[in-house]
Chain A
Amino acid sequence: MDFHLNILKIDCKQKVERICGFIRQQMQSLKREGAVVGLSGGIDSALIVALCVEALGKDKVFGLILPEKESNPISKEHALKQARKIGIDTEIIDIGSTLDGFGTYKQRDEIIKKIFPEYNSHYKLKITLPPDLLSRDTFNIFTLTIDDGKGNVKSARLKKDVLNAIVAATNTKQRTRMMHLYYYAEKMNYLVCGTTNRTEIIQGFFVKFGDGGVDIEPIAHLYKTQVYLLSEHLGVIEEIKQRTPSPDTYSFVVSDEEFFFRIPFNKLDLLLYAWENDVPQEEILEAMELTENQVNRAFRDFNAKKNATEHFRKPPPSLL
């Protein structure tokens, strides 16, 4: 194995052909007439919609933009701009009323008030993991941070029941989006095209039956780094390529790295590749100029996340 920093480079033309072939084959196999894509304003969905248009033609691809009150307004702008560039039809549906009806915000806010009694809906909030796994050996313990918008920022380590409640409430956002995507897909006899990449799938960075509830996942084999390469090749708009990846789920802006991955993508994907392909440790240390401790720490984190989310990737165990 010859492990080096450019090992994730891909033949973009060939990759596009392979993915488009897959999309068309699945269309045939599932007997559908087109693809619905949830456009988040992020790079994965921007790439997916470009690939679907490449595979099927713009008249057979429909983009749904599904913001809510805590979404960054720039996400909708970017999603629309990308959709207009490739010429697909779109619809914008604010899912806030669905979330209100379910009680998403109310239930989550009641839990947060138990930690910060002063918290109200005008505050911004986020949950984050400890930064920089390569520098510090810590557990994946979430911290809740609130900001009153007047310069007062407070943080607290979350207890298990509070974390579970916040995550359960927040996951209703992705599951509500899934519902809207399937409504349109079934009405139009289209399939729902997923946007999850390999970096996310391996570690379980998606919501079960949320953004994980789709018909096909054409970029499940691409590391995030490769998503960027292909996006460049297919002309995804610059604003999306430049924007720091974010779950865009909390009102306080948080990056994917702060929220979940704890390692910057340029190192993360190489380490993931090395872990998945049993690259000898001495090759990793030399190529990436890391220490043994750092690599072991990263691999332990990958193992823990993969094991904890195994059930996300499998169909439900069934007694037949």
Chain B
Amino acid sequence: MPDDIKNVLKDFIVENFLPFADENPFDDNDSFMEKGIINSAGVLELLQFIEERYNIKVEDEEVVPDNLDSLNKLVSFIEKKVKV
């Protein structure tokens, strides 16, 4: 499951935010904001995607870098939400 989520998210991010990037444009622990991979508008798009894909509701107070600002953090966050 974690690998599935990771691959799905990575594909989404590359397709939508880095369509012309080389292979493996970021590491699993890279900060999206600091590396300029996703900006604030992109976070909105990412939120919409994960809510629809995993049928979860991300509350406003959960929209924080600790939950969303790297591939690994995203995967952990989604796993927790899906289990609840």
Residues of B within 8 A of A159 (CB): 44, 48
Contact residues of A between 301 and 320, Cβ < 8 Å to B: 303-304, 307-308
**Given A163-B44, A307-B36, does the pair A143, B65 have CB atoms closer than 8 Å?**
no
Using an 8 Å CB-CB cutoff, how does the interface string of B33-68 with A read, 1 for contact, 0 for none? 110100111111101100000000000100111101
CB distance from A164 to the nearest CB of B (A): 7
Name the residue among B34, B42, B44, B47 with the largest chain A CB count within 10 angstroms: B44
Residues of A within 8 A of B39 (CB): 304, 307-308
Residues of B within 8 A of A138 (CB): 63-65
CA distance in complex: A139, B41 (Å): 10
Q: Does A140 sit within 8 A of B, measured CB to CB?
A: yes
Residues of B within 8 A of A136 (CB): 64
A141-B63 in contact (CB<8A): yes
A164-B34 in contact (CB<8A): no
Contact residues of A between 122 and 163, Cβ < 8 Å to B: 130, 136-141, 143, 157-160, 163
Q: Does A15 sit within 8 A of B, measured CB to CB?
A: no
Residues of B within 8 A of A157 (CB): 47, 60, 63
CA distance in complex: A307, B32 (Å): 13
Q: Which of B33, B45, B60 has a CB less than 8 Å from the CB of A304? A: B33
CA distance in complex: A304, B66 (Å): 17
Contact residues of A between 31 and 51, Cβ < 8 Å to B: none
Q: Does A300 sit within 8 A of B, measured CB to CB?
A: yes
Residues of A within 8 A of B43 (CB): 139, 141
B68-A139 in contact (CB<8A): yes
B40-A139 in contact (CB<8A): yes
CA distance in complex: A320, B47 (Å): 40
Closest Cβ neighbor of A162 among chain B residues: B44
CA distance in complex: A159, B49 (Å): 11
A163-B33 in contact (CB<8A): no
Residues of A within 8 A of B47 (CB): 141, 157
Name the residue among B39, B40, B43, B45 with the largest chain A CB count within 10 angstroms: B40
CB distance from A136 to the nearest CB of B (A): 8
CA distance in complex: A140, B32 (Å): 13
Closest Cβ neighbor of A143 among chain B residues: B60
CA distance in complex: A93, B39 (Å): 37
A303-B34 in contact (CB<8A): yes
Residues of B within 8 A of A140 (CB): 40
Residues of A within 8 A of B40 (CB): 139-141, 304, 308
A160-B34 in contact (CB<8A): no
Residues of B within 8 A of A304 (CB): 33, 39-40
Residues of A within 8 A of B34 (CB): 300, 303
CB distance from A220 to the nearest CB of B (A): 24
Q: Which of A139, A164, A303, A307 has a CB less than 8 Å from the CB of B63? A: A139
Closest Cβ neighbor of B41 among chain A residues: A160
CA distance in complex: A130, B40 (Å): 12
CA distance in complex: A303, B39 (Å): 11
Closest Cβ neighbor of B45 among chain A residues: A160
Name the residue among B41, B48, B66 with the largest chain A CB count within 10 angstroms: B41
Closest Cβ neighbor of B31 among chain A residues: A300
Residues of B within 8 A of A137 (CB): 64-66
CA distance in complex: A307, B41 (Å): 13
CA distance in complex: A308, B43 (Å): 13
Could you jot down 9 A-B contacts, CB within 8 Å? A139-B63, A139-B65, A141-B40, A157-B60, A300-B33, A303-B34, A304-B39, A304-B40, A307-B36
Instruction: In the A-B complex, list the 8 residue pairs whose CB atoms are closest, starting with the nearest.
Output: A140-B40, A160-B44, A160-B45, A139-B43, A308-B39, A160-B41, A138-B64, A141-B63
Q: Which residues of B contact A (CB under 8 A)?
A: 33-34, 36, 39-45, 47-48, 60, 63-66, 68
